[in-house]
Amino acid sequence: MNNAAQKGSAVLRILTLALAAVIVILIVFYGSLPESYDYRPGSVAQTDIYAPRTFIDSYETEQQAIIARNSVTAIFIRSEELSTQNVDRVVAFFDLAQQERSLMVVTSPGSPAPISADTAAEQLSVNLSQTFGASVPAEDLVVFMTMSDSSFSYVRDKAISIAELIMVDDINESALESAIDLQIDTFKETNPSYSAYADSLQIVFKQILQPNSVFDEKATNDQAENAYLAVISDPITVEKGARIVSSGDVITEHQYQSLIDLELIRDSAFNIVILLRDICYVAVISLCAFVYFRVMHKNDYFGQRIFYMLLLTFLIPLGISLYASSFGFNFCAVLFFTAICASYLGTFDSIVFSIVNLLLSWPVFSFDIDLLFINIVGIIVCASIAGRKDKVSSSATIILFPSLGCLLAALAFGFLNNYSQDQYISAVSFALVSSTAALIASIGVTPIYELITNNASPIKLISLSQPGQHLLKRLFLEASGTYQHSLMVSNLADAAAEAVGADSLLCKVAAYYHDIGKLENPQYFTENQHGGVNPHDNLPIMESIAIITAHPEIGVKIARKEHLPQAIINIIDEHHGTTYPGYFYFKACEEAKAKGLEQPDVNNFRYHGHIPSSRESAIIMMADTCEAAVRSTKQTDPEGAEALIRKLIRDKIEQDQLINSGLSFDDIEKIIISFKQVYSGVFHERIKYPDENKNS
């Protein structure tokens, strides 16, 4: 393909991919767009509505968050100021008591007559009421009037200490009384001789002491906000399949908000948002696929037919997903693409592109996890079987094992998630039926694809390798030497392909057909000559060259007529590259020298094909050359064969025959070793059987 045609093809492919991207976006958009309802609060539901996916119940979450915020208990903290004031109130009480006690004694002549203890107690009660608003009966204060001065002083000091101890802690209204009781009880135990004063002191404390705890508005508000945010950060979710609205329900604010959260309310604004989300989703996955393709297949060029066929096959499961999502979640339509892709691109590429296909269809199935798990298992099993290049699996194997893998995956996922019996039956049946149907469909369309693409699929190759094939029978009957030569080339190419990881099946089968061009004039090729008769002895050299170098072109014509895969046609065309038959060229040089003529132009002796464009084509070129040389030199020593092989391959490298093959020097070394191993098996010594008639 020339550069202009290749550029035109590339542009067409880019436009096709752009169109395919639009189709994928539309499929994802319409597939993931949930059924919408024209409801408002107060509307009457006409049908049951179930959650198509697990979602956050924003309405209930908000309600619970508000309840949590309002349920926070007010936060109080100890006030140092109030604590000091309480101690001061105790000090003030004893100051008032001391004042009344002083009126009970005569301090100097002419002073007022002393008052009684009862009168002093009554006056102290009045002063307490006026000063602190405390209501302490006079009879409970008499004891403070009648105790001795030393006892009064001791009780005063102890009362202040008790007040200070009580005020050390954060004391609210409910805790104040118990704190006083505790300290007074302790006082009684440690001062039993003063226990008679303790009860009155207890009554006074309960009247004059106040809580030292004050409301902390900031801390309370912060606590309430934290409680609110805790609920918001751990929202209430509703599982997929839960009934949101029952038929006949009057839509409540809660139900309406749930429908909005699920994007089930008919509103064009939501559709635009969903479309933008889907575009971003498809773009990210497509970018990953593009990067993978550019890295892994930078120098590969797929034929137009294969490209469009694979693209169409890629879109089919996505289109099916639009309808399959309404039947069941465990739908394995992607295996249709996996089986076909594996036969053309191999196992690894098939797994990657199938997972891309699965991820693109995932939104249509509401991002169902069991769908993802079951399909990935099926993809890996299917690609591993259908993508084998060394052996063609039967149709039954391709259908049976991936289907069984999907079945077991459905069972395992159901077991881990504790499915009910109905859920088990649904999951297993959808997985088994859909995977089997997809694989049967892929097997059914494979012959059609092979006819359209003319591709060397494993099934096609294994069919062409059968000895009963028309061309192989012709080779065996009309050119038996070429047939035997092709078998040996096939063995060499197969071993070499295995060594470097190339397509061994393609190499093996292409080797059978690489020399079918010799069918036109088989007797002009050494391996088919018998009795020492060589037709070239009676032909001019250039006429011999024309016959010899024409066999790749003739082989291409025969291959096309017989509808052989394009990969085999390319190998037939390239297996001699642009080399030249050395025997006839050197013979022409000798004749020219003998006649005193100029040396002939080597370009007139070259084959008219193309240099190998793939590893497989290069392998067959080397296998063909080495087999012919080893056979013609009658080499039977493995070491000698290795030296000859190295020389022949070095000649190919020096003639630039392998520059487009994609083979590295490490690959070349592996190929040489594999050729040597094959010949070691051919050249091994056999047991010499005794002659039974020798002594008879």
pLDDT at 510: 92
- Give the DSSP letter string of 590-643: HHHHHHTPPPPPGGGGS-SS----SHHHHHHHHHHHHHHHHHHTT---HHHHHH
- How high does pLDDT run on average in the chain? 85
Domains assigned to the chain: 3-32+269-455 (no CATH), 76-215 (no CATH), 461-683 (1.10.3210)
**pLDDT bucket at 314, cuts 50 / 70 / 90:** very high
With a cut of 60, say whether residue 592 has pLDDT above it: yes
pLDDT at 295: 84
Between 89-93, 249-253, 268-272, 430-434, the lowest mean confidence (pLDDT) is in: 268-272
- Triad 278, 280, 282: Cα angle to 5°: 65
Query: Taking residues 576-599, what's their average pLDDT?
Result: 84
pLDDT tens across 504-562, in order? 888 999 999 999 999 998 888 888 887 777 788 788 888 888 888 899 999 999 998 98
The residues, ordered by sequence, that sit 6+ positions from 18 with a Cβ below 8 Å of its Cβ are none
Task: Tell me the range of 192-196, 235-239, 381-385 where mean pLDDT is highest.
Answer: 381-385
pLDDT at 553: 93
pLDDT at 13: 81
Residue 415, classified by CB atoms within 10 Å of its CB into exposed (0-12), middle (13-18) or buried (19+), is exposed
Query: Taking residues 458-476, what's their average pLDDT?
Result: 84
CA-to-CA distance for 530 and 633, rounded, in angstroms? 17
pLDDT at 160: 93
pLDDT tens across 15-39, in order? 888 898 999 988 888 877 666 777 8
pLDDT at 443: 87
Q: Are 607 and 578 in contact (CB under 8 A)?
A: yes
Q: Give the residue, 187 or 584, on which the prediction is more confident.
A: 187
Eight-state DSSP code of residue 662? -
